[in-house]
Structure 1
Amino acid sequence: MKNIKYIALSLLTVGMMSCENDTLNDLRDRGNEDNQPLPELSVGDVDFSNYVAVGASFTAGYTDGALFVASQQNSFPNIMANKFALAGGGTFTQPLMNDNYGGLAVAGNRIQNPRLVFGGAGPVPLESVIGPVTVSTDIATNNPTGPFNNLGIPGAKSYHLVAEGYGNLANLSAGLANPYAVRVTGSTPDASIAQLAAAQNPSFFTLSEIGGNDVLGYALSGGDGSNPITPTALFGGALNALVGALSANNTKGAIGNLPNITSLSHFTTVPYNPLDPSNPAFGPQIPMLNGVFGALNPIFNAVDPSRAIVFSETEASPVVIKDESLADISSIIIAQLNASPTFPAFIAQFGLPAEAAPLVANLLGNTYGQSRQATADDLFVLPSSNVIGTVNTTNVAFLMGQGLPQALAGQFSIEGVTLPLEDKWALTPDEQAEIATATQAYNASIEAAANQANLALVDLNTILMEATSSGVQFDDYTLSTDLVFGGLVSLDGVHLTARGYALMANSFLKAIDAKYGTNFEASGNLAKAGDFPTNYAPTLQ
């Protein structure tokens, strides 16, 4: 069965969506609405001479599923540093990658792939467009020399940033180090990121997306338990240690709270009902499918009618998922099928003998004991789009090992149709609630830490909510979280575009204005949307 695609994107290029408005001029040149000149930039007693940024992937500038030179140059801390330079800010050093391909290697062995690009119908790997590339950033041979003002570590959780040895290459094989952290520790491989930051005696700092990966890992894995949410107490301890280290000398700074990550396009792009009856790979099979589930639906209806599975011949149907929050009724299914006098005749239509009835009843019970069709309240991770409608070959081999013919084993191994999607592909409402609860608790801790240390607090959560609901205005552009064409979220569905990072930088600058009396906004010294792209060309090297 061919892949059932999650979305039908226009063949328009992103470049067409980001045409610049020729009438945009610098704010200082045009003045305010009364045509009066804007005031000069004033920062009062705020010292930007040694700005240090600590955080995770957003701080680093991660975009399109990778980190690369252009994305780092458009990281929100670097955008801010360029504005700080207008008011005494010093050099802002970043651990730049070796190229614009992205990806990482260890002693010549690739451990992370190059970036994604727009392939005409959605995100695709760079190499599928331009051919094989050599990943030249090798953490065993060519790390840059610090110290670095940008200490954004993609993938880092809150407690990782205060953990010694997190940047030691020797710890990488045991999963106790992060390759991006290895690139910044230099001659002190066991120093924590917090220690590296504090050692620079920053005059100003930002702390951003602390806690983001503490819930993102759980969300990206569909809440399957392989990457649990960090307990609030552990997060709070790490947060307080970071803030304490960075503000030890009453240093001024800004800290951002966390958005609800399930609003990002990684979790909102794939619809819950992608099974289109007009698809020739799916439509003709609907009568057979409804016949199969017709044998199970009386059992489902007796236990819980919401579990009944029916595919429509006129409208798009939801996928079938495994919901681990449901009571497991495998034993009930098995017992009812074995007790049914018509079940042997039912399996005969598939060419199976009557004596195979107990085996088939057992297989059906174990397959559909916690199954249901998805609803609009379920969310699906972006990679599920490449899984829905495909044949799970591992399950085919298992069913053949149980005695089913290969063709029949294939029919009962179609992901999201006859084989319920595993937990890792979907976030159920219960799992979404866990993420929301943790995010709220983290944000309460962040607000308390900001108040305690007298820091500017940036409400990134409200900004994402606005972008999700109606779109957020940025100069002459309306940015939304729609994948590819929304302009805010990059091709990986999680991290921001360059224009999105510029919006984030402005949010920090406005919060700094409000807290410390600077006037970046009033003096016309915010980032301009038109100066930052929403995508990078495949030819960028």
Structure 2
Amino acid sequence: MIKTKYIGLILVVLGFTACNSPEDVMPPVDNETAPELEAGTANFEKYVSVGASLTAGYSDFGLFIAGQENSFPNMLASQFEKVGGGDFTQPLVSDNTGGILVGGTPVRGYRLTFNSEIPGPQPLNEFLAGLGAPVPPITTEAGVNIGSDFNNFGIPGARSFHFIAPGYAGANPYYARIASAPTATVIDDAIAQNPTFFTLSDIGAADVLGYALSGGDDSDPITDVATFNGSLGIIVDKLTANGAKGVIANVPDILSVSHFTTVSHNPVPLDAATAAYLNSMNAYGAYNAGITQAYAFLVANTPLTQEMADEEIAKRTIAFAEAPNNALVIMDEDLRDLTALNPALVNLRQATPEDLILLTASSEIPKGVGVSTPMGDNFVLTPEEQNNINDAAMGYNLGIEAVAQAKGLAVADLKSVIEEASTNGIAFDDYFLNTDLVFGGLVSLDGVHLTARGYALMGNTFLKAIDETYGSNFEASGNLMKAGDYPTAYSPTLE
């Protein structure tokens, strides 16, 4: 390992104003002149929510009681109650650690927390141990079934086809807790509650998220569009079979949230001596020479032109400099495979602004990963991999629009909300939210899921869609969630 000074990903430099600077804020509703709340043609008597982690209230890389209580379906239920909605029960976990056990062994560890004196989010147990404080045990046991008589069927990790798969409880500890039988399906357990109104959310997002979080390394493939559309059709047919109405959320651009945008492609400062060593024949100089030699052979013996070879050589040549912003060395499976000519010529290049470095890489860079050793494919999304995600999400959204139109259902446009938040920021009452990590106010510490305030904004998007489709007036009557009622961070000492 070459000793060098790597940039510290000190997240406090992202700024403290992102979620505390009101701009272009909509004027508040005057409740004295606002119309009385009406349900329109919707019947909220029995509301059931179906979805994955966003539906469950997953936040800060964990599912915990406080997060579940601030799930957007729970927020919606509080508004529906004002116009005839009934009780809304959730399968609350046993504690606020964020973890879950299978047979006494954690399969999901502690939630993340943050302290401005520490560079970046860290697991709750490490944070408390560092303070010398007692660390609460993880007590939620997936093997203890608590029944299936609930209104919230948000199952973290569930993809579209998982909702209709018999026996899925055997593969997902969150569903195992509430499955009505070992061979049950999520959607059948949901419709057994006889919903009169439903929401269906983060279907589609979960189908590409695993691929994105694994850097597109093929360990967690994207659900093909045909499978997604077939599953979606079955789910919606079942939910609407008895006349229930509802809302489906479309798929946002998951790559615009902070898990994929926080770490720069060029975060490495090097002094002259270290840069010179990395460029020498003892390090990447030998690789560069081998690349040049391999392409000379290809030009001489294959149809490859010199112009094409020069372009590929330039893309693959690795060079460091005395500078504060050297680019990371990454694996790229879409490069021409040269290992048949020389097994040492694996698919390496330096990252560009078009590459997305995952948040999980932030703990590896200080160890020399991406400099003295290449960064693995599981830490990077190349443009080709990003296109795979975007193409799938586009296909999913076309399917969602078609099903919603055919069934007369509302569509919650989460795609536009996340796009606005990631591009310019978005006003929410007296706050201005964006997708920055820690201080943006919208996205939780895992860089993917939402804060409680973010879920409130998501809930309002559903209420506005309900107003538009079913003639209710949640927005006009002043019955949207208020930003100030929901936090952007949870205390590490939640009871």
Fold-level match, TM-score > 0.5? yes
Counterparts of 1:45 and 1:495 in 2: how far apart (Å)? 32
Determine the structure 2 residue equivalent to 1:290: 279
1:94 is the counterpart of 2:90: yes
* CA distance 1:48–1:70, change in 2 (3 Å): same
Determine the structure 1 residue equivalent to 2:193: 200
2:317 to 287, 303, 308: 308
Determine the structure 1 residue equivalent to 2:306: none
1:73 is the counterpart of 2:65: no
- Structure 1 residues 159-178: aligned runs within 5 Å: 159-167=161-169, 171=170, 177-178=171-172
1:431 is the counterpart of 2:434: no
Counterparts of 1:223 and 1:45 in 2: how far apart (Å)? 44
1:106 is the counterpart of 2:102: yes
Which entry has the higher C-alpha Rg, 1 or 2?
1
Q: Which runs of 5+ in 2 are unaligned?
A: 130-134, 296-308
Are the aligned partners of 2:456 and 2:486 in contact in 1 as well (CA < 8 Å)? yes
User: How far apart are residue 250 of structure 1 and its match?
Assistant: 2.4
Determine the structure 1 residue equivalent to 2:255: 262
Counterparts of 2:257 and 2:443 in 1: how far apart (Å)? 7
User: How far apart are residue 291 of structure 1 and its match?
Assistant: 1.7
* CA distance 1:49–1:3, change in 2 (3 Å): farther
Determine the structure 2 residue equivalent to 1:352: none
Determine the structure 2 residue equivalent to 1:245: 238
Determine the structure 2 residue equivalent to 1:116: 112
Determine the structure 1 residue equivalent to 2:9: 7
Counterparts of 2:362 and 2:5 in 1: how far apart (Å)? 8
Amino acid at match of 1:288: Y
2:461 to 507, 520, 526: 507
Determine the structure 1 residue equivalent to 2:156: 154
* CA distance 1:53–1:426, change in 2 (3 Å): same
The higher relative CO (CA closer than 8 Å, separation ≥ 6) is in 2
* CA distance 1:85–1:258, change in 2 (3 Å): same
Amino acid at match of 2:126: S
Determine the structure 2 residue equivalent to 1:229: 222
Amino acid at match of 1:193: V
SS in 1 for 2:260: helix
TM-superposition CA deviations, 1:253-280 (whole Å, max 9, x none)? 00000011111111111110011126xx
User: How far apart are residue 3 of structure 1 and its match?
Assistant: 8.1
TM-superposition CA deviations, 1:181-202 (whole Å, max 9, x none)? 011114x232111101111110
1:38 is the counterpart of 2:34: yes
Amino acid at match of 2:229: G
Q: Which runs of 5+ in 1 are unaligned?
A: 172-176, 335-364, 391-413
SS in 2 for 1:509: helix
Amino acid at match of 2:468: A
Are the aligned partners of 1:267 and 1:382 in contact in 2 as well (CA < 8 Å)? yes
Are the aligned partners of 2:26 and 2:429 in contact in 1 as well (CA < 8 Å)? no
SS in 2 for 1:265: coil
User: How far apart are residue 107 of structure 1 and its match?
Assistant: 2.8
Counterparts of 1:20 and 1:323 in 2: how far apart (Å)? 40
Greater displacement, 105-114 / 293-302: 293-302
Counterparts of 1:221 and 1:295 in 2: how far apart (Å)? 30
SS in 2 for 1:434: helix
SS in 2 for 1:276: strand
Amino acid at match of 2:84: G
Determine the structure 2 residue equivalent to 1:58: 54
Counterparts of 1:78 and 1:526 in 2: how far apart (Å)? 13
User: How far apart are residue 537 of structure 1 and its match?
Assistant: 1.0
2:80 to 67, 71, 84: 84
Determine the structure 2 residue equivalent to 1:324: 333
Are the aligned partners of 1:60 and 1:75 in contact in 2 as well (CA < 8 Å)? yes
Amino acid at match of 1:268: T
Are the aligned partners of 1:6 and 1:269 in contact in 2 as well (CA < 8 Å)? no
Determine the structure 2 residue equivalent to 1:140: 143
Aligned length: 464
Are the aligned partners of 2:348 and 2:374 in contact in 1 as well (CA < 8 Å)? yes
Determine the structure 2 residue equivalent to 1:402: none
Percent of aligned pairs sharing the same letter: 49
Determine the structure 1 residue equivalent to 2:349: 372
Are the aligned partners of 1:20 and 1:530 in contact in 2 as well (CA < 8 Å)? no
Are the aligned partners of 1:322 and 1:372 in contact in 2 as well (CA < 8 Å)? yes
* CA distance 1:113–1:426, change in 2 (3 Å): same
User: How far apart are residue 478 of structure 1 and its match?
Assistant: 1.4
TM-superposition CA deviations, 1:281-326 (whole Å, max 9, x none)? xx64111112233344355455421111111213411000111100
Determine the structure 1 residue equivalent to 2:302: none
TM-superposition CA deviations, 1:31-75 (whole Å, max 9, x none)? 4xxxx6111101123110100000000000000000011100110
- Structure 1 residues 119-130: aligned runs within 5 Å: 119-120=115-116, 121-130=119-128
SS in 2 for 1:255: strand
Amino acid at match of 1:184: I
Determine the structure 2 residue equivalent to 1:443: 397
Are the aligned partners of 1:215 and 1:229 in contact in 2 as well (CA < 8 Å)? yes
Greater displacement, 96-105 / 300-309: 300-309
User: How far apart are residue 416 of structure 1 and its match?
Assistant: 0.9
Are the aligned partners of 1:377 and 1:429 in contact in 2 as well (CA < 8 Å)? yes
Relative to the length of structure 1, the TM-score reads: 0.82
SS in 2 for 1:202: coil
Counterparts of 1:472 and 1:500 in 2: how far apart (Å)? 11
User: How far apart are residue 26 of structure 1 and its match?
Assistant: 11
Amino acid at match of 2:121: P
SS in 1 for 2:427: strand
Are the aligned partners of 2:115 and 2:121 in contact in 1 as well (CA < 8 Å)? yes
Relative to the length of structure 2, the TM-score reads: 0.89
SS in 1 for 2:318: coil
1:179 to 162, 167, 173: 173
1:387 to 357, 364, 368: 364
1:47 is the counterpart of 2:43: yes
